[in-house]
Amino acid sequence: MRWESWSQFWAMGGYAVYVWGSVGVTALLLAVEVWQARWAHRLVLNQLKAEQAVAQLPVEELM
Amino acid sequence: MKNINWFHYAAPQTFYGLAGKAWPWFAVLATLLMLAGMWLGFAVAPTDFQQGEGYRIIFVHVPASWMSMVIYLAMAFWSVLGLTFNTRLSGMMTRALAPTGALFAFLSLWTGALWGKPMWGAWWVWDARLTSELILFFLYLGYIALTSAIDDTRRSDRAGALIAIVGAINVPIIYFSVKWWNTLHQGASVSLTKAPSMAEIMLWSMLLMALAFWFYTVALVLYRVRTLILQRESHATWVHELDEVKP
C-alpha cells in the first residue's frame, strides 16, 4: 500500500476533484445502466405475465 | 472437426436460454476484474513523476475509450451479418450494444475533460482525437434516435445497420488521429508494434480495467438482448411457456 492515510488517499495529491469526478461519475453511470436494464427486463416480464393472466380467464369473465 | 450450426444458436429462442446462462458469469468476472484493477491502480501503482496522482484518471479513461470504439465496431459487425443473412438476432444485438457504447463514449469525453483541465489547462480543445470521439458519441445518439423513431422493426433495424456500417469509418480515424494529425492529445499508451511506454504496474491496472469493462459490456448486452427478444417474440408460443412469465 502506497498511501500513509485515508485523507492522503482522498486528497489524490491535489487532484481529488478530477480523479474522483472521473471515478465517481463512471461508477454512478454504470450502476444506473445496470438498474435501467433490470427495470426494463422486469417491465417486459410483468407485461407478459399480465397478458397470460388475462388469456387464462374464463370467457364469461371477459364478457 | 464438427461443423457448428451458427444459425441454430442465432435463433432467438435458443439464444435467449444461452444468454440467460452466460450473463451472470460475465457479470461476476467483470466485478472481480474491476475490483482487482481498481486496487492495483489506486493502491499499488506509484505516483507518476510528471502528472502526480492526476494520471490515475487513465485507469477509467483509456478502457472507456477503447470500449467506445470496440462496441461501435461490434455494432457494424452485427449490422453486416444482419444485412447479408437477414437473421433476426443481428438487429437485436446491434440495438443492445448501442446504449453501452454511448455510455462509454460519454465517459471517455467526461474523464478526458477532467484530465485535460489540470494537465492542459482546458476542459476541451478542438483537437482531431477529441473531435472524432465526440462524433462517435453523436453517432451512437443518432443510431438510438433513428431506431427508436421507426416503429416497424425490420425497417428500423435496416436503417440502424446503415448508420452503424457507415459510421464505422470514424473508428480508425479516432484510433489513428494522434498519428495522422499533430494533436494535443498524447499518442497511444499501448501499441501492438512497440513496447508500452508505461510502468508495468500501471499498464496492468489499465489492462485489467479494460478487460473488466469488456466483460461488463458482454454481460449487459446479453442481459439486454433477452429483454429485446421477449419484446419482439411476445406472441410466440415458446415465450408463453417460459417459467418466468407464468402468472
Q: How many helices (H) and strands (E) does chain B have?
A: 9, 0
User: Is B117 an interface residue toward A (CB < 8 Å)?
Assistant: yes
| Percent of chain B predicted with pLDDT > 90 | 72
User: Is B235 an interface residue toward A (CB < 8 Å)?
Assistant: no
**Do B92 and B232 touch, CB atoms closer than 8 A?**
yes
pLDDT tens by residue, B129-179:
999 999 999 999 999 999 999 999 999 999 999 999 999 999 999 998 888
Does some domain include residue B207? yes
The cell for B113 is 475533460
Least Cα separation, residue B1 to chain A (angstroms): 38
Least Cα separation, residue A59 to chain B (angstroms): 18
Does some domain include residue B239? no
Whose cell is 453501452? That residue is B100
Residues, chain A? 63
Answer whether residue B213 shows pLDDT above 80. Answer: yes
Amino acid identity, position B66:
W
Tell me how many domains chain B contains: 1
Does some domain include residue B201? yes
- The pLDDT, as a whole number, for residue B48 is 85
How far apart, in whole angstroms, are the C-alpha atoms of residue A63 and residue B48?
75
Cβ distance B111 to A26 less than 8 Å, yes or no, reads yes
What number of C-beta contacts closer than 8 Å exist between A and B? Answer: 97
Q: What is the pLDDT along chain A (63 residues), one digit of tens a residue?
A: 578 899 999 989 899 999 999 999 999 999 999 999 999 999 999 999 998 888 888 777 666
Burial grade of B1 (CB within 10 A; 0-12, 13-18, 19 or more): exposed
Does some domain include residue B246? no
Least Cα separation, residue A11 to chain B (angstroms): 9
Which whole-number Å values give the CA distances from B55 to B90, B128, B198, in the listed order?
39, 21, 11
Which residue in A4, A9, A17, A44 has the most chain B C-beta atoms within 10 A of its own C-beta, making it the best mutation to test that interface?
A44
Does some domain include residue B17? no
Q: What is the mean pLDDT of chain B?
A: 91
ipTM of the complex: 0.90
Does some domain include residue B170? yes
Domain containing residue B167 = 34-45+53-231
Of B43, B52, B240, the CB nearest to A13: B52
From chain B, the residues in CB contact with A19 under 8 A are: 53-54, 56-57, 114
Answer whether residue B191 shows pLDDT above 70. Answer: no
